[in-house]
């Protein structure tokens, strides 16, 4: 089977590269996913899968406690799921990939058009090619390969092409609520071919630090919100240090800060000659695989309430949890799918895989906690190139991942 898969991938290499280029050329930023999802839907239909193409909506979805998005209108942002129905008696699997990409940013920092799919030295360049259209193609190739080799699977295969992962996972949430779950899942986020059985979650926060305005010439009559923000930042740094001191998971051994608390934005003040009376601090707190969103929020809020400054007794730091969030997720490292993935990885690449914990969030948390579908994150792209100018992926890694995925699906679902 391994040799048949490899030969099929070699025969279909050029067509596959061309299809990936077409996917990249559809710049599927938020509210512009319709074109690329139509391509995916048509492709799945050609492969003979049962295809569900729908606009996410409904009260159960929009009012769900884990709904997280910057909008509620998804009329130009369809979700797509393809089902390969098994013959029965086997385990099912979700192959989940998000189709949305972040904006290209400053075009002057790109050597080529970010939506060209330019190919050079065995690499394809373009926004979203590593995060994560290259990984999605690996999944699609695995399905196509098995189908064209005449394989019959006992268990169902569900391919998710979802929106909104970059804003918190609304696409995967609505797919799960629609019933598209399975016994386990694979998510080809850019891990540089490392296996992540555990995925960190995260949540955005906004802090309002108050001061008292005064003329800059008599600033001693006021209270600078900037100066009061300093002990707040110090409290955040201490909390990060304390939280990470408790981390003893060996899968985080190579990660310098397993659970980062990032301060990403500070703004405030209204006039150079006025003492600023308000500062806003926005950031992101990491959530460990074994933690809950609620517990981490409570610990953060407690740290903000205990800042040693009399001013905050009268004017406490105001905390708002807003915007994006990603639930943490994990699968037992002894899970059967982990064993199959490691074994097939060894056979294809001739070396044992590196196993670590994800330093960022994925849709695996939603699949695990809402869909009862334990998930493994493993893919061909490199995180360091995601969201960056000149984002690229090594094409050879895409085909290596496809070969591994095909064999894993064959083993897990029960191939005939």
**Active-site hit among 100, 240, 391, 411:** 100
pLDDT on residue 416: 84
Q: What is the DSSP string of 296-307?
A: HHHHHHHHHHT-
Kindly report, residue by residue over 337-374, the tens digit of the pLDDT. Answer: 999 999 999 999 999 999 999 988 999 999 999 999 99
pLDDT band at residue 70 using 50, 70 and 90 as cut-offs: confident
Kindly report, residue by residue over 222-276, the tens digit of the pLDDT. Answer: 999 999 999 999 999 999 999 999 999 999 999 999 999 999 999 999 999 999 9
100 assigned to active site: yes
pLDDT score of 25 more than 90: yes
Q: What percent of the chain has pLDDT over 90?
A: 97
Mean pLDDT of 160-168: 96
> Please, is 121 exposed, middle or buried when counting C-beta atoms within 10 Å of its C-beta (0-12, 13-18, 19+)?
exposed
pLDDT on residue 384: 86
Q: What percent of the chain has pLDDT over 70?
A: 100
Mean pLDDT of 292-314: 97
pLDDT on residue 407: 98
Q: What is the DSSP string of 5-39?
A: HHHHHHHTHHHHHHHHHHHHHS---TT--HHHHHH
Q: Whole-angstrom Cα distance, residue 140 to residue 118?
A: 21
Cis before 162? omega within 30: no
Mean pLDDT of 159-184: 97
14 assigned to active site: no
pLDDT score of 383 more than 90: no
Look at residues 345, 311, 314, 110 and name the one whose alpha carbon lies nearest to residue 226: 311
Q: Whole-angstrom Cα distance, residue 355 to residue 206?
A: 34
Q: Whole-angstrom Cα distance, residue 323 to residue 168?
A: 8
**Active-site hit among 26, 33, 156, 165:** 165
Q: Whole-angstrom Cα distance, residue 20 to residue 129?
A: 8
């Amino acid at each position: 089977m391994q040799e048949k898969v490899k030969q099929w991938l070699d025969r279909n290499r050029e067509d596959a590269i061309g299809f990936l280029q077409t996917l990249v050329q559809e710049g599927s930023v938020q509210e512009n996913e319709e074109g690329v999802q139509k391509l995916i839907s048509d492709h799945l239909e050609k492969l003979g899968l049962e295809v569900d193409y729908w606009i996410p909506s409904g009260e159960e979805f929009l009012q769900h406690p884990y709904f997280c998005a910057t909008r509620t209108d998804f009329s130009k942002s369809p979700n797509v799921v393809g089902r390969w129905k098994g013959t029965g008696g086997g385990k099912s699997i979700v192959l989940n990939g998000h189709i949305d990409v972040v904006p290209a940013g400053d075009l002057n920092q790109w050597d080529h058009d970010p939506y060209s799919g330019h190919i050079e030295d065995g690499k394809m360049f373009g926004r979203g090619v590593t995060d994560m259209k290259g990984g999605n193609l690996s999944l699609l190739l695995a399905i196509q390969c098995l189908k064209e080799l005449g394989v019959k699977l006992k268990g169902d295969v569900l391919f998710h092409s979802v929106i909104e992962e970059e804003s918190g996972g609304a696409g995967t949430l609505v797919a799960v609520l629609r019933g598209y779950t399975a016994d386990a899942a694979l998510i080809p986020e850019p891990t540089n071919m490392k296996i992540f059985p555990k995925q960190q979650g995260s949540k955005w926060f906004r802090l309002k630090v108050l001061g008292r305005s005064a003329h800059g010439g008599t600033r001693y009559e006021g209270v600078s919100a900037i100066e009061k923000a300093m002990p707040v930042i110090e409290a955040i740094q201490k909390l990060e240090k304390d939280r990470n001191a408790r981390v003893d998971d060996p899968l985080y051994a190579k990660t310098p800060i397993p659970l980062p608390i990032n301060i990403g934005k500070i703004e405030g003040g209204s006039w150079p000659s006025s003492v600023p009376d308000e500062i806003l601090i926005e950031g992101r707190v990491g959530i460990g695989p074994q933690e809950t969103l609620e517990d981490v929020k409570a610990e953060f809020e407690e740290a903000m309430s205990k800042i040693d400054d009399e001013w905050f007794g009268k004017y406490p730091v105001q905390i708002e949890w807003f915007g994006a969030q990603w639930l943490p997720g994990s699968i037992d490292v002894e899970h059967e799918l982990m064993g199959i993935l490691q074994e097939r990885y060894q056979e294809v690449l001739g070396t044992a895989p590196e196993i670590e914990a994800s330093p960022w969030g994925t849709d695996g948390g939603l699949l695990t906690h809402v869909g009862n579908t334990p998930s493994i994150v493993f893919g061909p792209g490199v995180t360091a190139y995601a969201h960056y100018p000149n984002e690229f992926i090594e094409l050879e890694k895409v085909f290596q991942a496809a070969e591994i995925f095909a064999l894993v699906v064959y083993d897990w679902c029960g191939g005939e």
